[in-house]
Amino acid sequence: MHSSTSSFKREIPSLPWRGITVTVAVGVLVAVAAWEVYCRSLGYEPTLNDTDDLWAEARRHVEPESVVIIGDSRAWFDSDLDELERGLGRRPVQLALPGAGPYPVLEDLASEERFHGTVICSVVPGLFFAPAGPPMQRPSGAVKRFHGQTWAQRISHQISVPIERSFAFLKQEDLTMAALLLELPIPDRPNAQVPPRTPPYFCSIDRERRARMFEQAARPGPLQEKIKGRWLRLFTPPPPPSFVPPDIFAANVKEAIEARFKNTKAAIEKLRARGGKIVFVRFPMTGPLKEHEDKFTPRAQTWEPLLQATGTPGIYFEDFPELLSFNCPEWSHLSAGDSVEFTKRLVPHLRKALQL
């Protein structure tokens, strides 16, 4: 009996394959070019994506006596590395992450026995004290990638860098199919609440992970209004789950906050035991977002207890006229130009707090 496959013969049809190949290639190039032009018309520019691989690359530059910036996107946008290097004598390593609390990164640095440098830690209470969710997942994932990054992932990152610098449409958080589908105007429904959307990509990022606000976001316009429209909902605490009694929920929240105080203090003590230093910084926010944060995370219940519990010096922008005079165009971050001037004015306060 003959095999059912051995006697089967396929013939390649006689078609103009060269012409078909050229047509497909031209079609792809035209489609890519059209998508690139459209994305640039929306305000996007070629820049690096802030991936875990880019963070891991920066993390590998941390040396025993490095100055390291950790925390949220305000430290990411508002810290100028050139001014900090001039004022502190060392070029900082930028490890702050957007929408992230600093604890996982602080714990990682404190656990590295060889590190005894200086940590500049940004504090946004809503992110700092978040017990779980994205504020903890993002930095935890970055730390995990640093410790477990494979050579294949490193090589893939090296290949992606020049490509991301060339095309505006390569934005992993905004312009993928999944991200675009989330932009559909779906209203809240009973038992199905639509989660708040994060702001669109509105900064350029270089190889050192320096973030600089796009000019389109720094000036009044559709992009700036879109960003503003998302901050308040993102910074509003979610309602307690209906299936948990209010007293139990409140007790759980209190326990989680107390655990964050305790764990943060332990990490700082471990760092100090090796001669390391740390300073907390409250970077500027303005407009309705400042009113919102002052209401839900008042200074007396967050910032002051944190400094007291950890014995750590802190710099709160409201305490100094020269730091208070800045305006955040979209309420939460400084423009590229203002970030340089703000950092220049911040340096003397950092030197005093760190006793340099």
State how far the Cα of 58 lies from the Cα of 69, in Å rounded to an integer. Answer: 11
Residue 181 predicted with pLDDT over 70: no
323-356: b (≥16 Cβ within 10 Å) or e = beebebbbbbbbbbebbbbbbbbbbebbeebbee
Sheet containing 277-282: order of strands: 93-94, 67-70, 118-122, 277-282, 314-316
Helix (H) / strand (E) containing 316: strand 314-316
Task: Return mean pLDDT, the chain.
Answer: 86
On the question of pLDDT at 79 being above 90, the answer is yes
Q: Give the pLDDT confidence score for residue 151 in this predicted structure.
A: 93
pLDDT at res. 180: 61
C-alpha–C-alpha distance, residues 276 and 271, integer Å: 5
pLDDT tens for 4-45 read 555 566 777 777 878 888 899 998 888 888 877 877 777 677
pLDDT for the residue 78: 95
Q: What is the pLDDT, as a whole number, of residue 93? A: 97
CATH class of the 52-179+198-354 domain in this structure: alpha beta
pTM beyond 0.75 = yes
In this prediction, residue 222 carries a pLDDT of 81
Between the CA of residue 244 and those of 241, 249, 295, what are the distances in Å? 6, 6, 24
- What pLDDT score does 192 carry? 59
Let me know: does 71 contact 123? Beta carbons within 8 Å.
yes
Within 185-242, where are the H helices? 215-218, 222-234
Lowest mean pLDDT among 31-45, 71-85, 92-106: 31-45
CA–CA distance, 307 with 302 (Å, rounded to integer): 9
| Rounded distance between C-alpha atoms, residue 130 and residue 212, angstroms | 26
Residue with tokens 């429209």: 229
